[in-house]
Chain A
């Protein structure tokens, strides 16, 4: 029985019916979804911190401290991606859908792919 805490960078107040944030480091909150045996057990909201130039490791540290072990992004820079790998958080990619719920459902169903190094972006991470 394995529990996964998934984080989705989100706009506004977040939540399963909320909208994803396109800019990972600039999101308002992270919607955190605890998934166990293919079921959503709990949803919590983690406020993001101020984004400062060069502060890529702030959200990495924030999510690691919150026990997150998976993240779905639309885009991310190389440094935070490497940081997440270093702290053991797996990073998945969905660059299309703005809604949180279908992305979470696809994650639970095992349909999302890990982001690859050649999919990293600059800026707005």
Chain B
């Protein structure tokens, strides 16, 4: 699993990163700015992108708005402090997995891994049937 991590300061994410790294085959790719993160996304297969609430060159939500046009297959999680309804409103149509707290911990990492596993199951193919 390849995870792009877009943040200016990675120290707040140590507990989350530690949890993610406990999974097998997790590669973390760091990017310090939105522009460098978007460059990393082009043409690459990424399982997850975690982006901080505010970067030097754009907000996390603005980053995801640009991300979906570059690599819509990448799943995303954003650090933020919005109420549920406001978060839903701000990220409608962008397909964000979840909002993470400013200091995400192991439980947040487990929640992320669980939703990724569920989506992976749902992505498995099925066959259509004829209409009656």
Contact = CB atoms under 8 A, between A and B. Distances in A.
Interface of A: 13-16, 31-32, 42-47, 49-50, 52-58, 61-62, 65-66, 76-80, 82-83, 85-86, 120-123, 125
A13 to B, nearest CB: 8
Nearest to B130: A44
25 contacts: A42-B130, A44-B128, A45-B128, A45-B130, A49-B122, A50-B122, A52-B118, A53-B115, A54-B97, A54-B98, A54-B119, A55-B95, A55-B119, A57-B72, A57-B73, A58-B122, A62-B126, A65-B125, A77-B93, A79-B95, A80-B72, A120-B93, A122-B89, A122-B93, A123-B93
Interface in B97-129: 97-98, 115, 118-119, 122-123, 125-129
A83 B95 CA distance: 11
Chain B at the A interface: SS class: mixed
